[in-house]
Amino acid sequence: MLPNATLTGVDPAENTGYTGVMTPPDASTAARPASVAARFLFLSGRLCLDFVHTGGAAERRVFEEWHTPGDLADWLAASPLRVTGITVSTTDLRAAQALREAIWHTAQACLRRERLPTAQIERINRLAQAPDLAPQLDGATQRSVWHPARSLSAALSTVARDAIALFASEQAHSMRQCANPQCLLLFVDASRPGKRRWCSMDRCGNRAKVTTYRRQRAQGRATGPQAE
Ligand SMILES: [Zn+2]
């Protein structure tokens, strides 16, 4: 993950949409304000991975976006869930952060082809047992909206269920971490050759190309013009 200040110019072509359990956005909040959306990263194409990309412990601490319960509420509203009206407490924030760690460590075990961590799996499974966000059909607009009885527990259940769907699927084997060691973003490689390296070309791919180009030019200057 890179600091948010570097997030401008995200390539829409790389953001290919959600591939997992897609839940319908609340029609009343479907248009998220650009100022809110720009605070957060929604690049992975997967709800549970975008959830992870909000920060974390250890080397991910510098990327923390959830400093207050209000930050988490803002993320839920800006996320593809587009769920608003949830009151978040400090305890709720800690629960969300714990789920984030559980998904991160499970993803890391997947990437390393290791046995999935039991305690983290139990945490994901426990949260998924709660009822998730319930979609309702709005007769007036013929759109899908969330049931008014929404809660953080339901939102976390939705995220946990998306994580279970991902880790239990073939897509778990296509999950990658961005090749930029400073980035740490995860994504599911849906490319046909299966050789995608970057979270997105604009964020990390083009930056690496420029670095390689500059290095090659510098080497060319150092060795002088080549005889033909
Ligand atoms: Zn990256």
pLDDT tens per residue across span 73-124: 999 999 999 999 999 999 999 999 999 999 999 999 999 999 999 999 999 9
Please report which confidence band the pLDDT of residue 128 belongs to, taking 50, 70 and 90 as the band edges: very high
Residue 8: inside a domain: no
**Which domain CATH number covers 182?**
1.10.3300.10
CA of 63 to the centre of ligand 1 (A): 13
Residue 105: inside a domain: yes
What's the number of domains the chain is made of?
A: 1
Residue 29: name the closest of 86, 88, 82, 85 by CA: 82
Residue 11: inside a domain: no
DSSP code string of 144-204: EEE-S---HHHHHHHHHHHHHHHHTSGGGGGEEE-SSTTT--EEE---SSS----S-IIII
Are 82 and 30 in contact, with CB atoms under 8 Å apart? Answer: yes
CA of 110 to the centre of ligand 1 (A): 19
CA of 72 to the centre of ligand 1 (A): 23
Amino acid at the residue 68: T
Residue 7: inside a domain: no
Q: What confidence tens digit (pLDDT) does each residue in 145-178 have? A: 999 989 999 999 999 999 999 999 999 999 999 9
Residue 106: name the closest of 133, 81, 78, 128 by CA: 128
CA of 204 to the centre of ligand 1 (A): 5
Residue 19: inside a domain: no
CA of 54 to the centre of ligand 1 (A): 14
Among 6-10, 127-131, 174-178, the least confident range: 6-10
Residue 78: inside a domain: yes
Query: What pLDDT score does 24 carry?
Result: 56
SS3 call for 135: strand
Residues whose CB is under 5 A from ligand 1 (ion)? Answer: 178, 180, 183, 185, 199, 203-204
Residue 1: inside a domain: no
CA of 69 to the centre of ligand 1 (A): 27
Residue 137: inside a domain: yes
CA of 224 to the centre of ligand 1 (A): 34
What range does the domain containing 53 cover? 27-223
SS3 call for 19: coil
CA of 55 to the centre of ligand 1 (A): 14
